[in-house]
Amino acid sequence: MVCKKPPSKLSTEARRLYTALATDYDITDEAGLALLRSVAESRTLIDECQKVISAEGITYLDRYGQPKPHPLLAVSRDARGQMMSALKALNLDLEPLRDAAGRPPTLSTVGGRDLSTPIENL
């Protein structure tokens, strides 16, 4: 599978995310790549906001000396929401693959107790 290169304007973390998702989930169609680009651009915006917030602090003092939340907190929050929406729209299958169809195998013991033994016999 040939993965399209991530856009150059992305942050390092966003490029890594773009490449990992495109490769792991074999995203090659234009719609999927557009959503993936949106995920990566949102991640870049989050990274840039976090960099500024880390340097300036999460609050600032207004003209009356009252602490106010940093304006980039709202931008970061909105970018996270946009990223999550794009990830949801990609409809990625996060369920691990199993060898057989049906329900996954159950644990034979829970908390050190053997579940194969009926409760009456305990």
Is 90 a residue whose pLDDT tops 60?
yes
- Give the rounded percent of residues in the chain with a pLDDT score beyond 70: 75
What CA–CA distance (Å, rounded) separates 29 from 19?
A: 14
Report field, pTM of the whole predicted structure over 0.75: no
* Mean pLDDT computed over 71-100: 88
Q: How many CB atoms lie within 10 A of CB 87?
A: 17
The pLDDT assigned to 122 comes to 54
The pLDDT assigned to 77 comes to 98
The pLDDT assigned to 5 comes to 87
The residue ranges of DSSP E strands in the chain, in sequence order, are 59-61, 67-69, 109-110, 113-114
* Mean pLDDT computed over 15-38: 94
Q: Are 58 and 73 in contact (CB under 8 A)?
A: yes
Q: pLDDT confidence of 61, banded at 50, 70, 90? A: very high
What CA–CA distance (Å, rounded) separates 84 from 17?
A: 13
Which one-letter DSSP state was computed for residue 121? G
- Domain ranges for the chain: 7-90
